[in-house]
Amino acid sequence: MRVRTGLCVAVLIAAGLVATPAAASAATEPQYDFAGAVRETVWVDLGRDGDGDGQPDRVAADIVRPAEPAEAGQKVPVIMDASPYYSSVGRGNETEFKTYDDEGRPVGFPLFYDNYFVPRGYATVLVDLAGTNRSTGCVDVGGKSDVTSAKTVIDWLNGRATGYSAKSGGTKVTADWTDGSVGMIGKSYDGTIANGVAATGVDGLKTIVPISAISSWYDYYRSDGATFGFDPDGLAETVEAHNGGQDCSAENGKLAEGATANGDYGPLWAERDYVAQAKNVHASVFVSHGVNDLNVRTINFGQWWDALAANGVQRKIWLSQTGHVDPFDYRRAEWVDTLHRWFDHTLMGLDNGIDKEPVATVERQPDEWADQSAYPAKDASATTLHPQAGSTPGVGTLGTAEGSGTVSFTDEAKSGEDSWAADPSAASASRVLYSTGALSSPVQVSGTSSVTVTATPSTSSARLSAMLVDYGPATIRNYAGSGEGITTGTEETCWGENAPGDDACYKETGADTTKVDYTIISRGWADLANYQSLSKESALTPGKPYSMSFRLASTDHVVPAGHRLALIVGGTDIDAITPPANLPKLTVDLARTSVRIPLAGTVPAAPRAERLPDGPLAHVAGHAPADLR
């Protein structure tokens, strides 16, 4: 690392911000000339015609690789980031795009991967998904075209596909400079493609590092039958805006048709469900996600992690308090060091001990991190808690003893999580709230929770929203702010080597924090009409009770002693999901309603009733995602 502000590496080591030599034994070191590295583009034939122009699609793979190993007959591994964003919305906190010289040769590569890793003996390959930037074809938002775009480049790197020197025509090009070992990395859509390619089991893919990534596209656009109000064809049109004029209207029409408005899980979503294909994964997986990510919601990392565990995949995970943020922008020095050692181990085969380190690293307070031997925490066990009626209608206690009676609320489609949570002692016409007493010792929620609600609707359509809330004062990252938990300064640090047009230096970031009186730690939404199946709605009969179980977001959160853990159930969370056609009154059967939480610690069976603070409480307001970046 070079620091433009003059801060020396010795100071960073003393502050514990970079690995000491002892921790970084057996590491690759910069030894190759970055300015003299080979920069080239190879167009790889996908063997399919996604845009219907009569020609097989070709995807552009822009490559930076050290010249010296190839000249000596040595072969290098590849770090790959396959993305649809290189000419549309850009990459990274500073919105970088690919750039080219007058002859079309690649010059500027977004992010620091090439600057840092090429001098250490890696090649960096940035792939334009079909239908984006300089690739032909069409994107299909996580489907076969997207996944094949990256998978076929891995095949080409291993001699199983054909590459060319031009977008059309040209001469054949072979990858005789690589040993075929590939590690995929990327945030959001890019990391999602890494998940999808890993789920094919392609030979040569040794590891993936999905950052804030989707594991099932259904869970990006839908939630247990409920819809978030946006669809994949809109994203396709955004990323195809600079694709050279290819006509992708037919493919986009298929996306619009397949993403049915009723929220059912159908064939389009099944094709894009990598969790269902996790049995094929052979690559190791290093996951990073913000537990407050309201763009790629955290159920995506939780279900992926669990499916990989069932398959015995080697895994590692970082969980931050941020929203949709790359760890390079909230824990930079430690991330670069850890990523370096991860790739050295998985792609170079170096025995640096990273496989023996704690599996999970979790941010407990802003910039305060704790290691865990496992995720979910090894002491966490599924604990069922029940709502119990109190003296205030719709407000009661939460404990291990079963409740009784009924309570009603009305879906007004005007309220959301913050208005529901802000005054926990007050009755509300649009939600019910049940809380433990002040905890005598901390409890840890670690893993994926689920809620079962038995409700009688007054109309033929109904939505359900549920959330777990930690009531008590805290300082957290301001994940609903413009930086989703970070601020960006003006001073820069440099991570790797510079070359003309390819800068390794990035603005420093810090934690954006806020003080709150409660923290929403997990959320979930559902369409009650999907109580029998996510694949097909069932007609609801007004006045008849229905039971539905649905998932809450995966997390790892410690509720401190003295705080309270609460369950809130409402109808339409207007800040998240679309409302039903006919807004119902919902009557909840407390005896048949419960929440199942992976919990380390003890919650009383029947906590004594304690009055919660009067009046609205402070919280960081939630927000809807703008786009998948």
Active site residues: 188, 293, 324
Residue environment code for 108-128, b if the CB has 16+ CB neighbours within 10 A, otherwise e: bbbbbbbbbbbbbbbbbbbbb
- The residue written with tokens 């239908």 in the block is 131
- Please state, in angstroms and rounded to a whole number, the distance separating the CA atoms of residues 222 and 225: 6
Find all residues with CB under 8 Å of 324, minimum gap 6, and list them: 188, 212, 290, 293, 294, 295, 296, 484, 625, 629
- Please state, in angstroms and rounded to a whole number, the distance separating the CA atoms of residues 181 and 395: 57
Give 503-546 as a DSSP string: --EEEEEEE-EEEEEEEEEEEEEEEGGGSS-SSS--PPPTT--E
- Please state, in angstroms and rounded to a whole number, the distance separating the CA atoms of residues 275 and 226: 20
- Own/partner contacts of 4-13, CB < 8 Å, gap of 24 or more, are 4/491, 4/492, 4/493, 4/494, 4/505, 5/491, 5/492, 5/493, 5/508, 7/493, 12/333
- Collapsing DSSP to helix, strand or coil, 361 comes out as strand
Give 54-120 as a DSSP string: SS--EEEEEEEE-HHHHHTT--EEEEEEEES-TTTT-BTTTTB--EE-TTS-EEE-SSSHHHHHGGG
- Collapsing DSSP to helix, strand or coil, 257 comes out as helix
320 vs 91, 168, 231, 243, CA distance in Å?
A: 20, 44, 28, 35
Tell me which residue of 245, 247, 210 sits closest to 133, measured CA to CA. Answer: 245
Tell me which residue of 465, 445, 474 sits closest to 620, measured CA to CA. Answer: 474
Tell me which residue of 342, 207, 220 sits closest to 285, measured CA to CA. Answer: 207
Strands 315-320 and 284-290: parallel
Tell me which residue of 542, 580, 536, 532 sits closest to 460, measured CA to CA. Answer: 542
Tell me which residue of 274, 348, 349, 287 sits closest to 314, measured CA to CA. Answer: 287
Find all residues with CB under 8 Å of 353, minimum gap 6, and list them: none
Tell me which residue of 591, 548, 543, 586 sits closest to 389, measured CA to CA. Answer: 591
Give 149-210 as a DSSP string: HHHHHHHHHTTSS-EESSSSS--EE--TTEEEEEEEEEETHHHHHHHHHHTTT-TTEEEEEE
- Please state, in angstroms and rounded to a whole number, the distance separating the CA atoms of residues 521 and 538: 31
Note whether 110 and 128 are within 8 A (CB): no
123 vs 115, 147, 254, CA distance in Å?
A: 10, 21, 36
Beta bridge partners of 108: 99
Residue 163, both tokens: 């590459």
Residue 622, both tokens: 């939630």
Give 590-602 as a DSSP string: GGG-EEEEEEES-
Find all residues with CB under 8 Å of 529, minimum gap 6, and list them: 225, 461, 462, 537, 538, 539, 540
Q: What is the DSSP letter of 348?
A: S
